[in-house]
Amino acid sequence: MSDTARILTGIPASPGIVVGRARVVSDFGDLQAAFRLLYTDQERQAEVRRFQEAVEQAQADLTRLRDRVAAEFPEHTHLLELHLLILKDQMLYDEPLRLIREENLNAEWALHRAYERVRELFSRIEDPYIRGRIQDVESVYRRLMGILIGQSPRRLIPPGEEVILVARDLSPAETTQMAGSGVVGFITERGGRTSHTAILAQSFEIPAVVGVDNAIREIAPGEEIILDGLSGRVILHPDVEVLERYRRRQEEFAAFREEVTTTAAEPATTPDGFATRVMANIELPEEVHLVGRYGADGVGLYRTEFLFLRLRHLPTEEELFEDYRKVVAALAPRLVTIRTLDIGGDKFLHRTDYVPEMNPALGLRAIRFCLKEKDIFRRQLRAILRASAFGRVRVMFPLISSVREVREARALIEEVKAELRREGLPFDEEMPVGAMIEVPAAVTLCQMLAPEVDFFSIGTNDLIQYALAIDRGNKQVAAMYQPLHPAVLRMVLQVVTAAGVSGVPVAMCGEMAGDPLHLPILLGLGVSELSMNPLAIPVIKRVIRSITLAEAQTMASRVLEMVSVEEINAYASRFLKERFPEIYRFGSALAGI
Amino acid sequence: MQEKSHLVEREVWVENRLGIHARPATQILNLARQFEAEILLEKEGLVANARELLAVLALDCPQGTRLVVRAQGADARDAAHAMVQLFARKFGET
């Protein structure tokens, strides 16, 4: 790296590399609109025209955006349709015109006053979902105000000119507008890799880095910068040499991605005939199309927490059912594995009903919480069972640590099934039920757990954390979080062996499953179903199709003899680097998201 | 033939789970635009013109809300009927 270059680090949210000019979006509060009174008819007429022209421009911009988005992502156009309607609404169109004509306000002032009235009106709405639509009104207001004061979004995102958007935060609506615009990447100060905005960026294949501290202050508007969505880095003031290097890397990554994606849908079988299933982890119904796009054989982990968190109230059975049915029906006949609620009460119970915990990771969460709050659990189980009538569903319980928990949960499923039968509601009588293996106790007990379930799914994120006693969020020990730790590998082997005796299939659904570095060893240990971030699937399938099971088994038995994780890591890296040099360079970045 | 100042009133209930959020409000607006009659929605004395999206949203109608549809104009009867149907269909939602 040259002397002049400066690097900002954030969280890689959507993979890819892009070079472009920064377009720094200042906060809403920075829009400096001048308010003034009008004195003559001539002035009033001019302001009326100016306001109408601004609305026309906004309408043209939004229509063009909508048409572009409609061509590629028809499911994302409804927000833009809504904005078009708000633009001509009586309260935001007729009212400002009246204020200009009758109250002698200039266009900015009239618009501001009209918007404030809408905001005031909406603040009194009790229903949180309906009240939340003020965000869309605000978005339209900002667009119009921007045009009026000469900072139009059209200039903000000029068509044709490629810009990297830099903002404090971006709403899902704003992210949606980027599809088909000149935005080739974005950087935000807020957000995590699983935020809604990051997920949309992945689905639009726009590289993004989020969680970059002080991005707005550090990045100068108009400056040429490099955004590396693979490593989460933003490079400022790059010299010619650095630019050249990243441009090459950008081309290579694009070619790599293109190549692996074209063959993604084909089955993942090793050359010596070992058939595996490569599945997707998803969280939102919007992610369903990624399953097909990246060639997943089904969903190995459907996280169900989002609806509970989004609604801020306890979702009804119908609300849960609707979400599950949508996903299950869209993916049928592919298998969808639904994980029951994996959070504690702190996330959505009222403060008075919830006792704060010193150590939530070891506290009342997941299956423990569900077995205590049986009404919530029962509601979710009913919704899952009802959704099972629309495709192929299996269900799994997180954080199982005893046989008793499995039996209790299964008994509840039987009760719920009996209810549904009485009510005449259809469901899959044979819906498989599984246990997640993510607590060391479950590993030790897996021989006894196996006869109680239809499948196991090893949740590596939690298992590694509990087995090695490492909190990944703690920077002082995060480096000790090591998926290839000898203890972890032995645990995986133990689960696979015990399950094999009972004929219970074993899946793996943590981040470890999606990393090409780990894959040969996992295959060699006997893991035949892997579930991961959809983006990682093409890479993983390609590795599976290129190595034989015999080779993977040799590797696995070799690493089982090694005593240190450093030795194992070096061995796995060497193998990947020699056999799959391009995957060695890019593949892990896809997996880590 | 309906007379010019014909006034029709109908009672409707919001039955869909999410209430009158953006999409149902849009459907109400699009339907109202197909008729000449003026269509008002009344909730406990508060009134919104069915052609005005934000006003309809601001009426704050979650599931279970009772509304009176009031249509006035040449095609008032058809307009009120169509609006009743739209509510009965739960805006195509659940």
The tokens for A13 are 């949210």
The pTM of this model reads 0.65
pLDDT at res. A343: 82
pLDDT at res. A259: 79
Residue A521 and residue A553 in contact, taking contact as beta carbons nearer than 8 Å: no
What stretches in chain A show pLDDT beneath 70? 1-4, 26-33, 151-161, 172-174, 176-177, 179-180, 192-196, 310-313, 345-355, 473, 475, 587-593
Indicate if the alpha-carbon torsion angle A401, A404, A409, A413 is positive or negative.
positive
Sheet holding A233-236, edge to edge: A6-9, A233-236, A224-228, A17-24, A163-167, A183-188, A208-210, A11-14
Residue A208 and residue A189 in contact, taking contact as beta carbons nearer than 8 Å: no
pLDDT at res. A284: 78
A81, A89, A127 ranked by CB distance to B60: nearest: A127
- Measured between alpha carbons, how far apart are the two ends of chain A, in Å? 26
Tell me if residue A408 falls in helix, strand or coil: helix
Interface test with chain A among B18, B21, B54, B94, by most A beta carbons within 10 Å: B54
Residue A136 and residue A79 in contact, taking contact as beta carbons nearer than 8 Å: yes
**Closest Cα of chain B to A130: distance in Å?**
5
Inter-chain residue contact B54 with A137, CB threshold 8 Å = yes
Residue A296 and residue A509 in contact, taking contact as beta carbons nearer than 8 Å: no
Inter-chain residue contact B17 with A322, CB threshold 8 Å = yes
* Residues B30-89 pLDDT 10s: 999 999 999 999 999 899 999 999 999 999 999 999 999 999 999 999 999 999 999 999
* Residues A517-538 pLDDT 10s: 999 999 999 999 999 988 889 9
Residue B78 and residue B35 in contact, taking contact as beta carbons nearer than 8 Å: yes
Of the candidates A535, A583, A514, the residue with the CA atom closest to the CA atom of residue A199: A535
Question: What would the DSSP string read from start to end of A127-169?
Answer: -HHHHTTHHHHHHHHHHHHHHHTT--HHHHS-SSS-EEEEES-
CA distance A280 to A264: 12
Region B7-92: CATH code:
3.30.1340.10
CA distance B10 to B12: 7
Residue type, A217: R
B49, B51, B62 ranked by CB distance to A127: nearest: B62
Nearest 5 degrees, angle CA A533-CA A538-CA A543?
110
* Residues A294-342 pLDDT 10s: 899 999 999 998 777 766 568 899 999 999 999 999 999 999 999 999 9
Residues of A identified as active-site: 196, 509
Chain B positions contacting chain A at CB under 8 Å are 17-23, 26, 29, 49, 51-55, 57-58, 60-62, 94
Residue A396 and residue A365 in contact, taking contact as beta carbons nearer than 8 Å: no
Element (H, E) at A456: strand A455-458
Inter-chain residue contact B17 with A89, CB threshold 8 Å = no
pLDDT at res. A590: 62
Count of helices and strands (H, E) across chain A: 26, 17
Going along chain A from its start, the domains and CATH numbers come out as 1-31+155-262 (3.50.30.10), 32-150 (1.10.274.10), 263-591 (3.20.20.60)
Inter-chain residue contact B54 with A91, CB threshold 8 Å = yes
Residue type, A281: N
| Angular region, A558: left φ>0, alpha ψ -120 to 50, beta rest | alpha
Phi, psi of A28 (to 5 degrees): -55, -40
Interface check A123 vs B, CB under 8 A: no
pLDDT at res. A30: 45
pLDDT at res. A204: 77
Inter-chain residue contact A90 with B49, CB threshold 8 Å = yes
Inter-chain residue contact A133 with B23, CB threshold 8 Å = no
The tokens for A532 are 């991961």
Please confirm whether the linkage preceding A486 is cis (ω < 30° from 0): no
Confidence of residue B2 (pLDDT cuts 50, 70, 90): very low
Rounded to a whole number of angstroms, the CA Rg of chain B reads 12
Whether the predicted interface score ipTM is above 0.95 = no
CB atoms within 10 A of CB A408: 16
Query: Which residue in B has a C-alpha nearest to residue A311's C-alpha?
Result: B18
Q: Which residues are paired to A445 by β-bridges?
A: none
- Measured between alpha carbons, how far apart are the two ends of chain B, in Å? 37
Residue A389 and residue A428 in contact, taking contact as beta carbons nearer than 8 Å: yes
How far is the CA of A217 from the CAs of A26, A166, A187, A220, in angstroms?
10, 10, 12, 7
The tokens for A246 are 């990243």
Per residue, the 3-state secondary structure of chain B, as one string, reads CCCCCCEEEEEEECCCCCCCCHHHHHHHHHHHCCCCCEEEEEECCEEEECCCHHHHHHCCCCCCCEEEEEEECCCHHHHHHHHHHHHHCHHHCC
Nearest 5 degrees, angle CA A303-CA A307-CA A310?
125
How many C-alpha atoms does A356 have within 13 Å on its Cβ side? 2
Of the candidates A395, A398, A400, the residue with the CA atom closest to the CA atom of residue A414: A395
Tell me if residue A208 falls in helix, strand or coil: strand
| Residues in B touching A92 (Cβ below 8 Å) | 54
Inter-chain residue contact B58 with A85, CB threshold 8 Å = no
pLDDT at res. A587: 61
Enumerate residues 6+ apart whose C-beta is below 8 A from A262: none
Residue A574 and residue A555 in contact, taking contact as beta carbons nearer than 8 Å: no
**Closest Cα of chain A to B85: distance in Å?**
22
Residues of B identified as active-site: 21
Of the candidates A427, A445, A223, A207, the residue with the CA atom closest to the CA atom of residue A338: A427
The tokens for A436 are 């997640």
Residue A387 and residue A328 in contact, taking contact as beta carbons nearer than 8 Å: yes
Interface check A313 vs B, CB under 8 A: no
pLDDT at res. A2: 47
pLDDT at res. A311: 64
Tell me if residue A1 falls in helix, strand or coil: coil
CA distance A592 to A472: 14
pLDDT at res. A312: 57
Residue A66 and residue A80 in contact, taking contact as beta carbons nearer than 8 Å: yes
Indicate if the alpha-carbon torsion angle A521, A519, A211, A351 is positive or negative.
negative
Of the candidates A493, A567, A576, A575, the residue with the CA atom closest to the CA atom of residue A539: A576
Distance of CA A1 to the CA centre of its chain: 32
